[in-house]
Amino acid sequence: MIAKLKAFWRIVRRLSGDDAYEQYLKHYAHYHQTDAGHECHPPLSKADFFRQWQDEKWNGIKRCC
């Protein structure tokens, strides 16, 4: 039961974008540390990441009738 609630909470967080920064850090750790060319910049701070993420998310047709 608790496991199910946790899974539900994970889905809610993922859907809403609440965990977007964690996902970004995961992606960063996965790709950027093994790749010599990308080490030049440290990961963005949460506030900076969120700004860019939000602005990008709203670029283009995102909502329908």
Q: Which residues are at the interface with other proteins (CB under 8 A)?
A: 10-18, 20-21, 23-24, 27-28, 31, 46-47, 49-65
How does DSSP classify residue 62? -
Could you tell me the smallest distance in angstroms from the CB atom of residue 48 to other proteins? Answer: 9
Nearer to other proteins, 36 or 62 (CB): 62
Could you tell me the smallest distance in angstroms from the CB atom of residue 5 to other proteins? Answer: 15
Cα–Cα distance list, 17 to 20, 30, 33, 35, 40 (Å):
5, 20, 24, 27, 27
